[in-house]
Amino acid sequence: MKSVYTDDFGDIDRAKSLLEDSKFHDLDEELPQIDIDVLREASIIQTQKRISDSLTLDKHLIQAIHALDDAHSSINLLSERICTWYAHTNGKARVPIEKLLTKDSLTSPIMNLKETYIQLQDLVASLSSYIDDEAPKIFPSMVELLDSQLAVRLVSCAGSLAKLARMPSSTIQLLGAEKALFRHMADGSLPPKHGILYQHPSVKGTHRKNKGKVSRSLASKVAIAAKIDFYRGKDDQ
């Protein structure tokens, strides 16, 4: 069997063009004429290109917001462990983590946990700074309407900026409230009025009976802002 790496690159280009052809019913006559290794190599090249095209800049921010949430969870767990450990080994009431951070007379294991806690706090600050710096470059309209972290969380819930830009405002309004929505569909409980948009001050600060109306209005603005950010500059390409 011939090695694909010594084959004529013209065969690979021909195989790639056939794979990209939308008329797959015509391939039955063409594929038998191409060496299987050449066809395989063309498929790999095409797949790698599609993966590369999918690695948009918003994916970095999505991973950053996930890392930020993980760091917050770790800080909360570590804070609980430090306070509990100190209370159990000293026979005293629980001491707030803020006071324990100022103590130098801790046992070696607790001191190690304290240092890890401080490192996690530094990580949270670093990730927050990264998101605040990069988000306005990728979706400035959404950041102006919301804030950096809330904008990234919306994009994360949608999967990408491209998907968010194609969503209707009614779907954007409920992003992050999927469990409540499915529970409503399953047992007829009250439907959710908002998802993570609740974190926005205009929704959180309004009266309870107006939260649905305010979140619906905000979702409509987000839908427009997402489209502006996604299609920004595409006419020039």
Domain of residue 222, CATH code: 1.10.246.90
Is 221 a domain residue? yes
What's the confidence (pLDDT) of residue 117? 95
Is 237 a domain residue? no
Q: Are residues 61 and 118 in the same domain?
A: yes
Sole residue written with tokens 């959180």? 204
Q: Are residues 105 and 133 in the same domain?
A: yes
* Listed residues 113, 138, 163: the one ending a domain: 138
- Using an 8 Å Cβ cutoff, are 153 and 196 in contact? yes
Angle between helices 108-138 and 148-158 (to 10 degrees): 80
Is 99 a domain residue? yes
Q: Are residues 127 and 203 in the same domain?
A: no
Q: Using CB atoms within 10 A of its CB, is residue 136 exposed (0-12), middle (13-18) or buried (19+)?
A: middle
Is 102 a domain residue? yes
What's the confidence (pLDDT) of residue 53? 63
Q: Are residues 147 and 123 in the same domain?
A: no
What's the confidence (pLDDT) of residue 5? 41
What's the confidence (pLDDT) of residue 29? 52
Q: Are residues 73 and 127 in the same domain?
A: yes
What's the confidence (pLDDT) of residue 183? 81
Q: One digit per residue, pLDDT tens: the chain, 237 residues?
A: 344 443 444 555 655 565 565 444 454 555 556 667 776 777 777 777 766 666 678 899 999 999 999 999 999 999 999 999 988 888 778 888 998 888 888 888 999 999 999 999 999 999 999 999 999 999 999 999 999 999 999 999 999 999 999 999 999 998 888 787 788 788 877 778 888 999 899 988 888 888 889 999 999 999 999 999 998 856 544
What's the confidence (pLDDT) of residue 127? 96
Q: Are residues 145 and 225 in the same domain?
A: yes
Number of domains in the chain: 3
- Using an 8 Å Cβ cutoff, are 178 and 224 in contact? no
**3-state class of 125 per DSSP?**
helix
Q: Are residues 100 and 153 in the same domain?
A: no
Q: Are residues 11 and 73 in the same domain?
A: no
Is 146 a domain residue? yes
Read off the pTM.
Answer: 0.73
* Listed residues 138, 161, 185: the one ending a domain: 138
DSSP string, 136-170: HHH-HHHHHHS-HHHHHHHHHHHSSHHHHHTS-HH
Q: Are residues 43 and 88 in the same domain?
A: no
Tokens encoding 48:
């790698």
For the chain, state the CA radius of gyration: 26
Give me the CATH number covering residue 77: 1.10.287.660
Sole residue written with tokens 């159990």? 88
Q: Are residues 95 and 149 in the same domain?
A: no
Q: Which domain holds residue 154?
A: 139-232
